Amino acid sequence: VKKSGKTDAILREADATGPDDMLFRVRVVLVRPSHPGNIGATARAMKTMGLASLWLVRPRMFPHPDAVARASGAVDVLDRVRVADSLESALESCGFAVATTSRRRELSHPLVTPRAAAQRLVAATGASDAALVFGNETTGLTNAELRICPLWTMISANPLYPSLNLAAAVQVLAYELRLAAFQEKVGKGTPAPASLADVERFFRDLESTLVEIGFLDPASPKRLMDRLRRLFARACLEREDLNVLRGILRSVRRS
């Protein structure tokens, strides 16, 4: 799946709205991160979800061996880190930015769920790059930095202890970004469901077999069959399931 050079460019052009491409266009911006370990863990969280572009605004310590250690197999993301002097310059060429906050602010501003924020970010990548912005571990983003971002998001958390680790918050948002990018592409290759008619036939067979073996009273079959119908309806029978179940009924009748 790794492609490069011309091929890459051609593929991007051809499928500019593919989920992987959308994710490449979302950059993560860490503003004034204190702990280099969190930078590494952020790189790892990003790469697991298909994000590649990490920007740092005035990191306290970077590069740093702790970042490398926590990045694990995502050192390539660290190698390509861009460091900026200000949030403004880290958002260069971005058409859209979402700020994360861990508490409600006095400033009134559109505050949406991570899910909604991810959908907006992914949608924005159709036009240009988009950014997801995280503040310092302790102090968060300043009001001035928040104001630069047209949309804010907050991860719903335990009010008694809402302190997600920085990289953990990145992981949650990156997870939502991946879901948003791949939305509705799920379910390819799911097994063929049984047809309704076949399922009905199975229920008739089941009923008569249960009468035959003396389990079901033919005078009042209703409640029992309703329960069994409910049970199998929840299971979303596949075609192959039905073949197995029919085979079992045949064996029971022969036994």
The residues of the shown chain that bind a second copy, judged by CB under 8 A, are 1-2, 41, 44-45, 47-50, 72-74, 113, 155-165, 167-168, 171-172, 175, 178-179, 182, 186, 210, 212-215, 224, 227-228, 231-232, 234-238, 240-241, 244, 247-248, 251-252, 254-255
- Closest approach, Cβ 69 to a second copy, in A, equals 11
Question: Measured from the CB atom, is 93 or 161 closer to a second copy?
Answer: 161
- Closest approach, Cβ 89 to a second copy, in A, equals 28
The Cα–Cα gap between 63 and 35 comes to 11
The separation between CA 157 and the C-alpha centre of its own chain, rounded to angstroms, equals 18
Question: Measured from the CB atom, is 85 or 186 closer to a second copy?
Answer: 186
- Closest approach, Cβ 88 to a second copy, in A, equals 26
Query: Is the alpha carbon torsion for 71, 75, 76, 81 positive or negative?
Result: positive
Question: Measured from the CB atom, is 9 or 248 closer to a second copy?
Answer: 248
- Closest approach, Cβ 32 to a second copy, in A, equals 19
Question: Measured from the CB atom, is 10 or 244 closer to a second copy?
Answer: 244
Question: Measured from the CB atom, is 93 or 190 closer to a second copy?
Answer: 190
- Closest approach, Cβ 46 to a second copy, in A, equals 9
Question: Measured from the CB atom, is 16 or 69 closer to a second copy?
Answer: 69
- Closest approach, Cβ 35 to a second copy, in A, equals 11
